[in-house]
Amino acid sequence: MKPLVLDKLQWPTLLDLLAGYTQTTAGKDHCLELKPNLSRDDIELGWNQIVPLKNLIRTGYVPPIGDIPVLTSTFRGASLGQTLDGESLREVYGLLQTVKSVQRFTTDFAEKCSTLVKFDRTIYPLPHLATAIETAISPEGEILDSASPELLSIRRKKLSLRKTIETEIKGLLSDHEVENYLQDKFFTVRSERYVVPIRLDGRGRVKGSIQDTSDSGQTLYIEPEAIKPHNEHLLELELNEKLEILRIFRELSAQVAADLDTLKANYEALVELDILSAKARLAANLDCCAVTIHDQPCLKLKGARHPLVTTPNGGKAIGNHIELNSENHILIVSGPNAGGKTIVLKTVGILHLMAKAGLLIPVEEESEIFLPEEIYLEMGDSQNIEANLSTFSGHVLGLKPILEQAGPRDLVLLDELAVGTEPQTGSAIGQAVLECVADRKALGVVTTHFDNLKGLAMSDPRFRNGSMEFSVETLKPTYKLVLDIPGQSHGLEVAEQMGLPAHVIARAKDLRGESSTEMDRIIEDMLAAKEQAKQERAKFEQLRMETESQKFRWEQDREALLKAKEKASEKIRNVYQNQIDKLKIEFRDQADQFKKLVKKLPSGDQLTELKDEARDSRRSAENKLSALESNLQKLGDEYKLKQDIPGEPVAIDQLKVGSKVYVVSFEREATVTKVQKSPPAVEVSVGLLKIKPALQELRLIKNSKDTKPAKKRSTSANKTQKIGFIVPSPTNSIDLRGQDVERALEKTWAFIDKAVLRGETQLILIHGHGTDVLKRSIRTALTKDSPYNLDFRPGEKEEGGDGVTVVQLIL
Q: Spell out the residues 6+ positions from residue 217 whose beta carbon is closer than 8 angstroms to its own.
A: 200
Q: Which pairs with CB-CB distance under 8 Å and at least 24 residues apart come from 752-756? A: 752/786, 752/788, 752/807, 752/809, 753/557, 753/561, 755/809, 756/561, 756/564, 756/565, 756/568, 756/788, 756/809, 756/811
Number of Cβ within a 10 Å radius of residue 335: 28
* Residue 297, marked binder: no
Give whole-number Cα distances, 338 to 206, 212, 335, 472, 494, in Å: 92, 80, 9, 15, 8
Residue by residue, what is the 3-state secondary structure of 218-248? CEEEEEEHHHHHHHHHHHHHHHHHHHHHHHH
Q: Residue 782, class by beta-carbon neighbours within 10 Å (0-12 exposed, 13-18 middle, 19+ buried)?
A: buried
Number of Cβ within a 10 Å radius of residue 344: 25
Which phi and psi angles does 618 have, rounded to 5°?
-65, -45
* Residue 285, marked binder: no
* Residue 338, marked binder: yes
* Residue 647, marked binder: no
> Which of 357, 358, 356, 296 shows the shortest CA–CA distance to 325?
296
Strand, helix or coil at 414? strand
User: Distance between CA 262 and CA 267 in Å, rounded?
Assistant: 9
Q: What angle do CA 778, 780, 786 make, to 5 degrees?
A: 85
Q: What angle do CA 479, 281, 309 make, to 5 degrees?
A: 20
* Residue 125, marked binder: no
β-pairing, 681-686 vs 668-676, is antiparallel
β-pairing, 733-735 vs 698-700, is unpaired
Q: What angle do CA 615, 616, 617 make, to 5 degrees?
A: 90
Number of Cβ within a 10 Å radius of residue 44: 14
**Taking a C-beta distance cutoff of 8 angstroms, is the pair 698, 661 a contact?**
yes
DSSP at 326? S
* Residue 115, marked binder: no
Strand, helix or coil at 212? strand
**Taking a C-beta distance cutoff of 8 angstroms, is the pair 300, 363 a contact?**
no
DSSP at 419? -
User: Distance between CA 69 and CA 88 in Å, rounded?
Assistant: 10
**Taking a C-beta distance cutoff of 8 angstroms, is the pair 279, 360 a contact?**
yes
**Taking a C-beta distance cutoff of 8 angstroms, is the pair 612, 626 a contact?**
no
Give whole-number Cα distances, 645 to 638, 662, 685, in Å: 11, 8, 19
Q: Which pairs with CB-CB distance under 8 Å and at least 24 residues apart come from 107-110? A: 109/56, 109/61
Q: Spell out the residues 6+ positions from residue 379 whose beta carbon is closer than 8 angstroms to its own.
A: 8, 342, 395, 398, 415, 416
User: Distance between CA 463 and CA 457 in Å, rounded?
Assistant: 5
* Residue 342, marked binder: yes
Q: Is the peptide bond before 679 cis (omega within 30 degrees of 0)?
A: yes
User: Distance between CA 523 and CA 544 in Å, rounded?
Assistant: 31
User: Distance between CA 37 and CA 2 in Å, rounded?
Assistant: 12
**Taking a C-beta distance cutoff of 8 angstroms, is the pair 378, 416 a contact?**
no
Which phi and psi angles does 735 have, rounded to 5°?
-100, 115
Q: Residue 422, class by beta-carbon neighbours within 10 Å (0-12 exposed, 13-18 middle, 19+ buried)?
A: exposed
**Taking a C-beta distance cutoff of 8 angstroms, is the pair 336, 489 a contact?**
yes
- C-alpha Rg value of the chain to the nearest Å: 49
* Residue 803, marked binder: no
Binding site: what residues are annotated?
335-342
The annotated binding site for ATP is made up of 335-342
